[in-house]
């Protein structure tokens, strides 16, 4: 089938000239690392100059007092090699000293900076692509992917990723080119996390709930060269391509598990990768700071921003997942968290690192979740609070007994005590994490202390609701006054802005230097989240800066009010936003979803709040209705704020 050409090359079988790939190579080629800046060789003949006039631009070495004689340093050489005094004191004098670089000056005085350069023998750029190479070699027959009736080993998955990379190179994809994908949690989505960066390209995973205008904006803004798309999204993609200025090559993913599908592109995934080489000699990135993926923010206040991840950050975030969470070797992981969201919190790469098995799920619902858990003996999963609600609210017909305890990592809203207790009874153990797109997903974790297990359920929930401490690969997380950039007291009450810095913080926003500069002001990434710091250093969110309610001059945390409402026995979920008020400025307005078959009135909810909150924090209005959610399970509060104005 004919393929459209992309901007950087034709559909010929050889790679572009800028990529040098060894012919017929069977093993991964690791290119030589960047050569370190050349250092000045140790002088063979050196004398101490009588006078040196230091250049203002150069950093001059410290001089001894004029009255003292300074012996020239001994020249470096092989042991046993003697040099005459005469040879060390005869040197051509220069009219003016050369500027000395910091590295050269350091090498002259630090023995550990001499002749100890980076070489291919002792340095390779960090990249999560090495994980699948190793696992496919060590555990080739271990199961990597499960999807419906489909079973795929690590050796098969690695070969398919290399085929994808090879096919992309043949159509002109190289370093710095964007390859977008719109797909649910299916094997092709997983393979793209390796195959695209193996080609040198940058993977942009599109949110499957975006409208056509937003998809078109992202295609244009990211200069997409190839678009990989599941046929379920044929309508929105067809409409987006009709209005986008950029016209990428479109490759269809024809998943048999998809019910509503229609052809969009010129070729299918299987046809496309069939033209690729399963032994493609992909190369490590020339620099670990190179981009590996692109993730767009939600864009609730305008066009979304493109968050750029590096190979280095993705690698270290993957190591963080594997070391901060009890995941071990060969976990069985259920995909309910969308892989398009922060690249599935970097778990596609983490699972390759630990040789795990991915159980794919196109669309999470109570019965498919329990079937997948029970049939595949799942050990780990990640999900938003909405997934917890699906599990807790499952009917007896949907629920199945679990063969072992399931580790459940969750983010977004802190799990209330009632939710944690219900999950524990069903053999789930919850770990609470916190992060943003800009920090590769989870960047803090509520690291658990064994002695906390002996506490009552309510106290355990109170501790587990905290967002916790930094991931090991992150240099720092703190709560600061954004005006003074000083850390708030560790008293659990003084609010400030949560800030991050370190290895698992984004490179920046694509084509948006102003936003990048503002986000990194003061040497920290500003999250926009408000929180407190406890005495033990654990942080706890109080609200998004834009979600905080200011009533009569007092700050009200919507998270606190929501936690109280959700604890009501009839409530399944709740969200609280500010409602304009002539007297108080703003007052809390609660939107409440009741459990199936449960009943409660607005007066019941308000009375429950008054029994557990200060009076000014209690909602004045209660609206019973379904909550608008994002594809990652977060409540769309900007929608609720509009509804509250009319309530």
Query: With b meaning 16 or more CB within 10 Å and e meaning fewer, what string describes 387-415?
Result: bbbbbbebeeebbbeeeeebbbbbbbbbb
pLDDT (mean) for 618-636: 86
CA max distance for the chain:
100
pLDDT at 619 over 60: yes
Q: Which of 297, 321, 345 is the last residue of a domain?
A: 321
pLDDT in tens, 367-416: 999 999 999 999 999 998 889 989 998 999 999 999 899 999 998 767 77
Can you state the percent helix, strand and coil of the chain, rounding each to 5? 30, 25, 45
Structure-model confidence comparison of residues 72 and 102, the more confident one: 102
Please give the pLDDT value at position 614.
83
Number of domains in the chain: 2
Question: Which structure tokens are listed for 550?
Answer: 């200011």
CATH label of the domain that carries residue 220: 3.40.50.12780
Q: Which helix (H) or strand (E) holds 501?
A: strand 496-502
Please give the pLDDT value at position 107.
64
Please give the pLDDT value at position 299.
59
Q: Which positions ≥6 away from 166 have C-beta within 8 Å?
A: 199, 275, 276, 277, 280
Q: Which positions ≥6 away from 546 have C-beta within 8 Å?
A: 528
pLDDT at 193 over 60: yes
- In 301-361 the beta strands, taken as DSSP E runs, fall at 306-310, 332-335, 357-359
What is the C-alpha separation between 362 and 320, in angstroms, rounded?
27
Q: Can you name the residues that pair with 335 across neighbouring β-strands? A: 382
Phi, psi (rounded to 5 degrees) for 465:
-70, -15
What is the C-alpha separation between 463 and 447, in angstroms, rounded?
10
pLDDT confidence bin for 33, thresholds 50/70/90: very low
Phi, psi (rounded to 5 degrees) for 71:
-70, 140
Please give the pLDDT value at position 545.
74
Residue 488 lies in a domain: no
pLDDT in tens, 492-539: 999 999 999 999 999 999 999 999 999 999 999 999 999 999 999 999
pLDDT at 74 over 60: no
Question: Which structure tokens are listed for 5?
Answer: 């050409």
Residue 177 lies in a domain: yes
Q: Percentage of residues in the chain with pLDDT exceeding 90?
A: 66
Please give the pLDDT value at position 197.
99
pLDDT at 72 over 80: no
pLDDT at 635 over 50: yes
Range ranked top by mean pLDDT from 31-40, 488-497, 627-636 = 488-497
Residue 356 lies in a domain: no
pLDDT (mean) for 550-564: 83
pLDDT in tens, 232-289: 999 999 999 999 999 999 999 999 989 888 899 989 999 999 999 999 999 999 999 9
Mean pLDDT of the chain: 85
pLDDT (mean) for 51-74: 42
pLDDT (mean) for 563-591: 91
Structure-model confidence comparison of residues 56 and 197, the more confident one: 197
pLDDT at 1 over 80: no
CATH label of the domain that carries residue 609: 3.30.300.30
Question: Which structure tokens are listed for 477?
Answer: 């997380």
Residue 359 lies in a domain: no
Range ranked top by mean pLDDT from 316-320, 418-422, 526-530 = 316-320
Q: Percentage of residues in the chain with pLDDT exceeding 70?
A: 82
Please give the pLDDT value at position 103.
63
Residue 315 lies in a domain: yes
Alpha helices, H only, 31-128: 85-89, 102-109
3-state secondary structure of 93: coil
Phi, psi (rounded to 5 degrees) for 267:
-150, 165
pTM of the model: 0.76
The domain of 133 spans: 123-321
Burial degree of 37 (CB within 10 A; 0-12, 13-18, 19+):
exposed
Q: How many CA atoms lie within 13 A of 394 on its CB side?
A: 22
Residue 613 lies in a domain: yes
Residue 520 lies in a domain: no
Q: Which of 295, 321, 347 is the last residue of a domain?
A: 321
Determine contact, residues 223/246, Cβ cutoff 8 Å.
yes
Q: Which of 281, 299, 321 is the last residue of a domain?
A: 321
pLDDT in tens, 337-363: 999 999 999 999 999 999 999 999 999
Please give the pLDDT value at position 221.
98
Residue 230 lies in a domain: yes
């Amino acid at each position: 089938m004919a393929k459209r050409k992309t901007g950087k090359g034709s559909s010929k079988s050889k790679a572009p000239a800028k990529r040098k790939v060894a012919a017929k190579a069977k093993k991964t080629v690791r290119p030589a690392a960047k050569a370190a800046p050349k250092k000045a060789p140790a002088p063979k003949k050196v004398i101490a100059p009588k006078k040196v006039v230091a250049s203002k631009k150069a950093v001059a070495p410290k001089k001894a007092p004029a009255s003292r004689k300074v012996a020239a340093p001994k020249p470096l050489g092989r042991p046993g090699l003697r040099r005459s005094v005469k040879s060390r004191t005869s040197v051509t004098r220069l009219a003016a000293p050369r500027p000395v670089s910091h590295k050269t000056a350091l090498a002259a005085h630090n023995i550990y900076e001499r002749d100890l350069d980076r070489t291919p023998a002792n340095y390779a750029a960090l990249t999560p692509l090495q994980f699948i190479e190793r696992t496919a070699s060590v555990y080739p027959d271990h199961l990597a992917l499960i999807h419906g009736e489909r079973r795929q080993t690590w050796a098969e998955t690695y070969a398919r990723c290399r085929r994808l990379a090879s096919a992309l190179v043949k159509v002109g994809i190289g370093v710095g080119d964007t390859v977008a994908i719109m797909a649910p949690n299916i094997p092709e989505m997983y393979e793209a996390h390796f195959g695209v960066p193996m080609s040198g390209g940058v993977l942009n995973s599109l949110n499957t709930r975006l409208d056509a205008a937003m998809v078109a904006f992202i295609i244009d803004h990211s200069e997409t060269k190839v678009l990989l798309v599941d046929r379920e999204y044929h309508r929105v993609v067809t409409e987006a391509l009709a209005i986008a200025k950029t016209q990428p090559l479109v490759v269809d993913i024809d998943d048999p598990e998809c019910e509503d599908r229609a052809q969009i592109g010129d070729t299918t995934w299987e046809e496309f990768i069939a033209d690729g080489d399963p032994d493609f000699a992909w190369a490590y990135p020339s620099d670990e700071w190179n981009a590996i993926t692109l993730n767009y923010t939600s864009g609730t206040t305008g066009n979304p921003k493109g968050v750029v991840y590096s190979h280095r950050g993705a690698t270290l975030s993957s190591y963080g997942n594997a070391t901060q969470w009890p995941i071990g070797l060969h976990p069985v992981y259920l995909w309910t968290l969308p892989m398009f969201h922060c690249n599935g919190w970097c778990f596609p790469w983490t699972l390759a690192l630990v040789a795990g098995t991915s159980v794919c799920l196109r669309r999470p619902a109570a019965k498919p979740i329990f079937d997948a858990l029970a049939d595949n003996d799942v050990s780990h999963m990640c999900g938003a609070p909405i997934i917890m609600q699906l599990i807790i609210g499952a009917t007896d017909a949907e629920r199945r007994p679990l063969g072992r305890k399931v580790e459940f990592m969750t983010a977004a809203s802190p799990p209330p005590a009632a939710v944690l207790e219900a999950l524990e009874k069903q053999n789930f153990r919850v770990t609470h994490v916190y992060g943003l797109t800009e920090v590769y997903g989870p960047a803090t974790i509520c690291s658990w202390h064994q002695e906390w297990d002996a506490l009552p359920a309510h106290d355990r929930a109170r501790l587990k609701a905290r967002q916790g401490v930094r991931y090991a690969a992150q240099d720092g997380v703190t709560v600061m006054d954004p005006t003074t950039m000083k850390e708030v007291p560790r008293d659990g009450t003084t609010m400030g802005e949560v800030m991050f810095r370190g290895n698992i913080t984004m490179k920046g926003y694509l084509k948006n230097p102003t936003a990048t500069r503002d986000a990194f002001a003061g040497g920290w990434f500003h999250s926009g989240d408000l929180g407190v710091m406890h005495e033990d250093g654990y942080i706890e969110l109080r609200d998004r800066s834009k979600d905080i309610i200011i009533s009569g001059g007092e700050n009200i945390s919507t998270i606190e009010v929501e936690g109280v409402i959700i604890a009501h026995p009839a409530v399944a979920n709740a969200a609280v936003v500010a409602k304009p008020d002539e007297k108080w400025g703003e007052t809390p307005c609660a939107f409440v979803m009741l459990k199936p078959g449960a009943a409660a009135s607005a007066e019941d909810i308000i009375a429950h709040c008054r029994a557990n909150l200060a009076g000014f924090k209690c909602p004045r209005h209660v609206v019973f209705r379904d909550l608008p959610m994002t594809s990652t399970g977060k409540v769309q509060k900007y929608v609720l704020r509009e509804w509250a104005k009319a309530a």
